Amino acid sequence: MSSQKDKTGNALDLGLLWRIVKLAKPYKKYGLTAVFTTVSLAVLMPLQPILIRLSLDEYIAVGDIPGLTNMLILLIVLLVAQTLVMFVNTYLTNWLGQQVINDLRLRVFSHLSSLKISFFDKTPIGTVVTRAVSDIETVANIFSQGVITISGDFLQLFVITFLMFYTDWELTLICLAVLPFLIYASNKFRKGVKSAFQSVRTEIAKLNAFVQEHITGMSVVQLYNRESAEYEKFKSINKRHLEANKKSVFHYAIFFPIVEIITATSIGLMVWYGSRNALSGAVTPGVMVSFILYLNMFFRPIRMIADRFNTMQMGMVASERVFALLDKKDEIEDNGNHVADMNGTVRFEQVSFSYIEGERVIDNISFDLKQGKTLAIVGETGSGKSTLVNLLTRFYDYNEGKISIDGIDIKDWDLSALRSQIAFVLQDVFLFSGSLRDNIRLDSERISEQRMIEAVKQVGADRFIDRIEEGFDYDVMERGSSLSVGQRQLISFARALAYDPAILILDEATSSVDSETEALIQEAIATLMKGRTSIVIAHRLSTIRDADEILVMDKGKIVERGSHDVLSEQGGYYAELLKNQQLSELVD
């Protein structure tokens, strides 16, 4: 997803084009109907000048009123048929495009859901949003204004040219003498707009990434008085986006007047040559009128082809980006087939892991955690605590060693079965926009209304939910911004308890709350941990006194292990951490 990748794409890339066309395979009959109506339009539209020429030369010229009436009726029938075919064609091509991007967007979202967390660590969210929304929207233009429509335009040009030569080849050559100038202008326009559109798409991705990041971190922006500085950054990015759009506007502003001038020149040549020959009877009035209509029909598709070719080009560029995302092999390997209920016995055997090759974050870790027991993990920031539990849930796959649950390698577990029996309560609780009910149940069919209510009561979340007028229908807003930190934490505990996991992971679950709120949360934690295998990443060491075993980590290694009392008496690394924290609390 680099900027370099943003500047690739070719409308004549047949391999990529065929891959796009295959997206419409489920709607084959609609696509074929769209092709048929396109061909029909290419044939029907040039018939109008023929009927008008016949009306002028063979009926009006000789005063044949009945014959003229019949021609008029035939012309009306042709116009009605043309209108109906155009409606069906326009509707089907746009409908086809919308169906394809609907399917493609679902496919992209499903793929994003299956990617490793490491992908999101390295990719700006705004860029991903651009790929999944606006880039896919651009792909629809390939069907509505792209390959089918452009093919129809070329066919119409062929039919018009054939009829013009058939009617008067000398007059046709005079009229098309300006064609080389038009082809040159169209080619320059296509190249210029292509470059401008590529810049527009690149700047849109940058805008989305910047806005998403800064809205998410707006509290930091305001807290450190960065409003003016960040505004200037945004202003710079926005200006580049503006300049890219102005370039495309400039090309359009030049090209279309040039086309009008060339069209007028062609008609002028036709009138000059035709008038001279009309005096001798070599060219009839009907032929001259029909040629004026032919020329308007001829130059309109050429003008539109240049524009549509660029639209298609951008659709190809956008589709290439989307396919590049779909082709990413950062998916978690889900080759396991074990789906039994967990007991919750966990074992790490000489496990090592690196985010960057050669730089171990977890270094040769081994421990056993029996069913129903509690393991606490402590250490300074960056010691590898969170990474350790992320390996257990397969957010990342370890590089060396083995992790097993109930004696079975976690890679042999079905991924869905593995994660459905592990509950993860984070320090930074994430709540989705929606009701409290939706955030606790997450639309799971496993969790009934009664089970949800019982979970809420067990963790004590009913104390504040009962005071809310809307109850479980209360809208928590984006990221749970309408709730306090403690309330969000209690909701996350209720969510975990409702899922009834075999293994519970608490990652710094009380580090962001005050002491009073912590007391309430500790009650919820005790309820949640009862009878479950639990792993607790602790910030406040006082909260893990009752853990069956404590692992003390430093730089990815276990430096001490034992119970709270044993480690406190040893006077080692843990004792030093405990002493420093107690002094800090006294100062506070």
Together in a domain, 281 and 394: no
Together in a domain, 40 and 128: yes
* SS3 sequence of 318-336: HHHHHHHHHCCCCECCCCC
Task: Indicate whether 520 belongs to any domain.
Answer: no
Token pair of 481 as six digits:
């911004």
Together in a domain, 178 and 306: yes
- Confidence at residue 542, expressed as pLDDT on a 0 to 100 scale: 66
Task: Indicate whether 28 belongs to any domain.
Answer: yes
What is the reported pTM? 0.69
Q: Which positions ≥6 away from 308 have C-beta within 8 Å?
A: 145, 146, 149, 150, 153
Together in a domain, 283 and 347: no
> Which CATH number fits the domain that encloses residue 288?
1.20.1560.10
pLDDT tens track for 259-311: 888 888 988 888 888 887 766 667 888 888 888 888 888 887 777 776 677 77
* Alpha carbons 110 and 330: distance in angstroms, whole number: 13
Helices (H), 115-168: 117-122, 125-130, 136-139, 141, 147-167
- Confidence at residue 336, expressed as pLDDT on a 0 to 100 scale: 85
- Confidence at residue 584, expressed as pLDDT on a 0 to 100 scale: 53
Together in a domain, 367 and 270: no
Smallest CA-to-CA distance from 374 within 563, 153, 542 is with: 563
Last residue of a domain, one of 274, 306, 326: 326
- Confidence at residue 475, expressed as pLDDT on a 0 to 100 scale: 84
Together in a domain, 171 and 44: yes
Together in a domain, 49 and 160: yes
Together in a domain, 263 and 354: no
- Confidence at residue 3, expressed as pLDDT on a 0 to 100 scale: 41
Neighbours of 487 (CB within 10 A): 21
Task: Indicate whether 486 belongs to any domain.
Answer: no
> Which CATH number fits the domain that encloses residue 569?
3.40.50.300
Query: In the beta sheet, which residues pair with residue 367?
Result: 348
Last residue of a domain, one of 302, 326, 350: 326
Task: Indicate whether 502 belongs to any domain.
Answer: no
Neighbours of 42 (CB within 10 A): 20
Query: In the beta sheet, which residues pair with residue 557?
Result: 554
Together in a domain, 317 and 371: no
Total of domains in the chain? 2
Task: Indicate whether 492 belongs to any domain.
Answer: no
Q: Which domain holds residue 372?
A: 335-421+547-588
Together in a domain, 290 and 359: no
- Confidence at residue 516, expressed as pLDDT on a 0 to 100 scale: 57
Kindly list the strands in the beta sheet with 503-507, ordered across the sheet, starting from the edge strand earlier in the chain.
Answer: 422-425, 503-507, 533-537, 374-379, 549-554, 557-562
pLDDT tens track for 492-530: 888 888 888 889 888 765 555 555 566 667 777 777 788
Task: Indicate whether 157 belongs to any domain.
Answer: yes
Task: Indicate whether 501 belongs to any domain.
Answer: no
Task: Indicate whether 530 belongs to any domain.
Answer: no
Residues of the chain with confidence (pLDDT) below 50: 1-9, 586-588
Together in a domain, 357 and 251: no
319-to-10, 199, 314, 327, 535 alpha-carbon distances in Å: 11, 16, 8, 12, 44
Crossing angle of the two packed helices 28-44 and 147-167, in degrees rounded to 10: 20
Contact status, residue 343 vs residue 502, Cβ threshold 8 Å: yes
Contact status, residue 312 vs residue 147, Cβ threshold 8 Å: yes
Neighbours of 88 (CB within 10 A): 16
Together in a domain, 359 and 232: no
Last residue of a domain, one of 273, 298, 326: 326
